[in-house]
Amino acid sequence: MGKGHRYQDADQANRWRRRAGSRMPSRRLPRPLLGLISLGVATLAAAVTQFVIQSTASLQTTVTNWTEPLPGSMEGRASVIDGDTVEIAGQRIRFNGIDAPESRQYCDDAKGFDYPCGRRAAQALDEFLAASRPLHCSFVDRDRYGRFIGNCDRADGRSVQRWLVEQGLALDWPADLFCLCRPLANFRSG
């Protein structure tokens, strides 16, 4: 075979490309791989959609918190959510200037034993509020969850926040420090 034969094969290949519309043979991915890629794209689309929906809801809450005026005050029978949060007429109210353990939180006592400090704080608060109803709260702000932040007093005029701190059920937490990292070494989730 000489030089001419090699060029003849090249001419034949060029003629074939022209007849086939300059199409090269396609390489297809196996069906299982295509299925996995499709599943990945669908999962990514769902995650992006979920993120957008949650971000929009959070943005709406933030805008509402900035634009809607605070009500002057609220009075009613309070249901205890945890040691620093109550609910009156479907509206959650977080006590201003204190921090108490969450309902499911455990603490270490002086001997290093665990006890359900969150549940105890909530129970003690419930008993304290039951002794003199209704609860009266005046609002100072909203938190990032849309809850009102307020100063609350029982019907007899006793400050709920002051009582919780005096009883050792909550920490006095100045408002300007509230957004910083909380040094609650003796609190842990349980």
Structure token pair of residue 162: 């002051």
Residues 6+ apart with CB under 8 A from 130: none
pLDDT at 182 over 50: no
Instruction: Report the Cα–Cα distance between both ends of the chain, in Å, rounded.
Output: 85
Give strand ranges (E) for 36-134. Answer: 73-76, 79-82, 85-88, 91-95, 98-99, 105-108, 114-115
pLDDT at 186 over 60: no
pLDDT at 3: 55
Read off the pLDDT band of 84 (50, 70, 90): very high
**Rounded percentage of the chain residues whose pLDDT exceeds 90:** 49
Q: pLDDT by residue (tens digit) across 150-166? A: 999 999 999 999 999 99
pLDDT at 178: 42
pLDDT at 174: 73
Q: pLDDT by residue (tens digit) across 95-146? A: 999 999 999 999 999 999 999 999 999 999 999 999 999 999 999 998 888 8
pLDDT at 185: 39
Q: Does the N-terminal peptide bond of residue 69 adopt cis geometry, omega within 30 degrees of 0?
A: no
pLDDT at 63 over 80: no
Longest dimension (CA), the chain: 114
